[in-house]
Amino acid sequence: MNFALFAADSVGNEIAHYFGENNERLSCLVVDSEDKKGINKEIIARGKKINCTNIFSHQTLYDSETIAKLKKLNLDLIILAWWPYIIKKELIRIPKIGCLNFHPSFLPYNRGKHYNFWAIVEDVPFGVTIHWVTEEIDAGDIAFQKGIRTSWEDTGETLYYKAQKEIVNLFKDNFFKIKKGDIPRIPQNLHEGSFHLSTEIDRASRIELDKKYKARELLNIIRARSFAPHPAAWFIEGGKKYEVRVNIKEKKEI
């Protein structure tokens, strides 16, 4: 099986480490050119450890020269490990089997952006999914999926880190099936789920001081946006903007 790994953030680093640790061959490695956490150096070192010499960055990914090189690699599968970009049709068509994407929600719930916020606000099942890539965002058939239990103590922050941990575990648990090409294709029921754009979260995080809320609804908005140093739930009073976060802890004795 000829793999291309598109690796970003700590999840991409963990998957690159898994390939190296198990001496699994990588035909190609692609890294995020923005490298916000300064982790590319480590990802690339892991690729070189298993003699991966075809290393590209997102910045030049769609250059004609890069596309030509990718086509010559005879790729079977592209794995998008926490990849922050939508990949284009010309890239989806390159691997013989297809492309698998890591998505940190229990699809079809919360396709698109800010899964950790919407899972709490919409009070829907939470989990992680590895799915087939199509031109429609996060709409491809489900390959592997795992639910994650949540509680009132969870916030947007805790769901973010739970998803990172469990998506890596989901991949590792199913890698030998992937390697054999024994990869399910379970269609999503897109009428049951939801999709959100990045532009929706700020308005959904606003608390209207004179609006009536159920206590559950209000607490969910606040804890869903509790993820410092990112922006929090907010309200305006007297021409000033205020942010609010919450810390909920279970009391063992009633």
Quote the pLDDT of residue 130: 98
How far is the C-alpha of 28 from the C-alpha of 94, rounded, in Å? 13
Instruction: Give the per-residue pLDDT at 50.
Output: 85
pLDDT at residue 189 in the model: 94
User: Using one digit for the tens of pLDDT, what is the confidence trace for 45-103?
Assistant: 998 888 899 999 999 999 999 999 999 999 999 999 999 999 999 999 999 999 999 99
Q: Is domain 3-195 given the CATH code 3.40.50.10860 in the classification?
A: no
- In angstroms, the CA 105 to CA 115 distance is 6
The predicted pLDDT at position 252 comes to 84
Q: Write down the pLDDT at residue 49.
A: 85
Q: What is the DSSP letter of 206?
A: B
Looking at 3-12, 47-56, 117-126, 141-150, which range is the least confident one?
47-56
Residue extents of the structural domains in the chain: 3-195, 199-244
Strands 77-81 and 98-103: parallel
Q: If pLDDT is split at 50, 70 and 90, which confidence band does 172 have?
A: very high
Q: Tell me the per-residue pLDDT of 201-245, one tens digit each, with 9 for 90 and over.
A: 999 999 999 999 999 999 999 999 999 999 999 999 999 999 999
Report phi then psi at 101, rounded to 5: -115, 140
Rounded CA separation 20/219 (Å):
43
Instruction: Write down the pTM of the prediction.
Output: 0.94
